[in-house]
Structure 1
């Protein structure tokens, strides 16, 4: 009898599941991003429903700026190749003019995002919350940088960087030469420049992903098990 048969996902559903796995996605996140009900996606991947409507497939592909075949037929292109591991979003910045980073601590799971162009396996990200950095990164943007503990490099001078001061503050500032060797000025996007501070480390910003794109790609910690 049909009711006693094991439900097997269709080939298109299996391709869809491989695509989600390769991109660190769950049905809940795809549903939020695409506007397709999660119940529809769950039925599809569980084999209850053997197909999705063409317009539904198109809706998902459009939301992720790729093709229907890349998701549901396993076509290999630049959008469907297996990606590098997701990047951890380790904190927030932009709530006030200080440029201070509020680090996320004590987490077993992190908010995450796919790597951006130019990032490496050591890269991490900050999420911009607020409008104090609006000329550099808008509210909701992602700032990627290398998680390293190295001294400032002369090539970083004049550019926005993530830095840690000797007193333990982690900031996003434009790095400038100070009045003496080993001292640096930290220019704010808004607000006063911090003069002549010593730094424990500095990291060059590798990429900034605008808010609209960031909303599509962020995988929230609460979605990991969804």
Structure 2
């Protein structure tokens, strides 16, 4: 058993898991993940069923915006008899973590069976002290660049009066820029260590930014009508010259 801590417990179908990382219980609070060292992980599996659980792998993973940015699988086979608990510990090298992610990310520590199905897991918020040039940081910069291009395209069309005459069509032209702005806000807050991405946080940011962009596009002025064409002037310009060169 784990002594001296109040470990987190996550149950799935009668099976629960307690876990600590460097002696700190894995809970909903932030969990420091420092790429400059190793993490000592200890977990206890409580088998509340009458069957034997065959654990093969322990996985530590971090996700954001439904994408997995880091995942560490450690082979640690052991069995947990029905109605019993088994504790195992190991050291996880986090040396590559700094190049994969940075900031606050939803993190899960889970145990898997031989078929790589999750037996049980516990979720927390990982505080990753990685580089801004990590995969996650570069992903954020890419979203920022695409958002800037979307705004530039919409505003350039507005300046050149090339937006559609229909208000809703003009609004839809601004929508991608608004969605991108919401994504940039979510990723920036995550990288800066202010707030971890989650559906509860992502959806309001994206919806508000998208709605603001739609409203901006809807309220843009109607593009100026094209100048009327003078048929007689057109005929004069296109009329062939007589042989003498005079009109």
Whether the TM-score (by the shorter chain) exceeds 0.5 is no
Which structure has more helix as a fraction of its residues?
2
TM-score (norm 2): 0.24
Which structure has more strand as a fraction of its residues?
2
When Rg is computed on C-alpha atoms for both structures, the one with the higher figure is: 2
TM-score (norm 1): 0.26
